Chains A and B, each alone.
Chain A
Amino acid sequence: MSETNIALESVIELQRQYRFQFEPAQESFVLLYPEGLIKLPGSAGEIMKRVDGKTSVQGIVENLQQAFPGADLRQDVLEFLEVAYGRGWIKIK
């Protein structure tokens, strides 16, 4: 299929034109950029919340599994971050 860019040891951060925050009126995390807004509800928001330019993808997975025990989230995280990378929201440090 398509090539992958994000690995478990990758450290990622938001591209600088984006800002991530929670919006009570939308009841959702959002990604803001000049003249636009992307809603990141549910797991997408929870993953992005942990993207801080310091934690590795593996660290993000572990952190999520502590918050939401039971499920194996590794695949979900990798898939979402791959999409986020493809859309230019995040970069690899």
Chain B
Amino acid sequence: MEEAGSRSSSIKPPLWVNAEITYRCPLHCLFCYNPVDYAHSGAELTTEEWLRALRQARELGAIQLGISGGEPLLRDDVEMMVAEAHKLGYFTTLLTSGVGLTEKRISAFRDGGLDAIQLSFQDSTREMNDFLSSTKTFELKSKVAKLIKQYDYPMVLNVVLHRLNIDHVARILEMAEAMGAEQVELANTQYYSWAMVNRDQLLPSREQLQRAEAATNAFRERVGNKIKVYFVVPDYYATRPKACMNGWGSVFLNIAADGMALPCHEARMLPGLTFPNVRDHDVRWIWHESPGFNAYRGDSWMQEPCRSCPEKAKDFGGCRCQAFMLTGDATNADPVCDLSQNHHLITEVVDKAQNPGKPVTVHPIVFRDDKNSRKLGEKKGAPVPTTAAVDS
């Protein structure tokens, strides 16, 4: 619609900044969305570099700030970021596994103006939580949940759902209620990064999914307005793609541990694109002018069937990363769409997942840890072009 020269004026400001302040993490979740080659990523931004980026993004209009990771609490300057973010007027949420959330720290967050805490659980039982995260953290997380309530924080409980825990949804919700959560996110695994590596073990069957939705709805009916429950369906079971990130470069700005600015958590994987680093560029330039953020704005990049599809304004052709991962071309329709000629790439995987119970293959689970990350990074062969700006 707009000419390239006037594009800047049609771009709305970002609303949401996700600051992945570190890729370090004491957990090793097999569905982690951090890049599989995170071990090869460059040095983390310094405190001052983070504060500068947060100021610039806020000036641009960003309102929501997520401080995440990795495990953000492995950095000791989160308190400074929280306080600065509060002064700037962000609504700040800390996304944590709970590991490292001591009373001293939560008290400092409270004083600094942290607005909410999202605590992740892997399951409702110690055995499954600890197995899925490859750690012994369940009891620690339960203690942290109590601490969050003690400090009168709104608590958002986040549980990533998949084949190995989705049958426990009713119990997970009971646990959330007992802990006093205000909001529960039952987020079915999206198949990127580590989850893609472990997809065969993680994709639930249709029957599992339906049971989980029924259990969620029954819970909603019982508790009413008291607890908000979000159930994010796995897009592999849909016939239309998700409106990924509400459109490329539309509302979401991800800043990775090494300072790379990305339109989503996963965009680093896309070939042929260079993403800017907040060390080298002002966030305003990054958002409005950088080629990376403009690559898939609008619809001129689309191929058929998206290009002439009446629904393109609604779903933007789905997810660029999923299109690339599954078809090799990021400008293709997201194969989740049943109008895509590549839709069989989804249905074949879904068909394989229909025998309930056991994982469908004997390929071993790959936990997210430094050793596996280095291995997966090497396997990718040529260095990922998007890491080029890190050392400049």
Contacts and interface: CB of A to CB of B under 8 A. Distances in A.
A37 B64 contact: yes
Nearest to A24: B61
B152 interface: yes
Contacts of A34: 91, 93, 115-116, 118, 154, 156, 182-183
Contacts of A26: 13, 61, 63
Interface residues of A, number: 16
A35 B156 contact: yes
Contacts of B91: 19, 32-34, 37
A4 interface: no
A24 B154 CA distance: 26
A25 B11 CA distance: 12
A30 B16 CA distance: 14
B154 A30 contact: no
B60 interface: yes
A17 interface: yes
B225 interface: yes
A15 to B, nearest CB: 9
A16 interface: yes
Given A16-B152, A21-B89, A25-B13, A32 B64 contact: yes
B245 interface: no
Interface of B: 13, 15, 60-61, 63-64, 66, 89, 91, 93, 115-116, 118, 152, 154, 156, 182-183, 225, 228
14 contacts: A17-B154, A17-B183, A19-B91, A21-B89, A32-B63, A32-B64, A32-B91, A33-B91, A33-B116, A34-B91, A34-B156, A35-B118, A35-B156, A88-B228
Closest 10 CB pairs of A and B: A25-B61, A17-B154, A32-B91, A34-B116, A25-B13, A34-B156, A88-B225, A34-B93, A17-B182, A19-B91
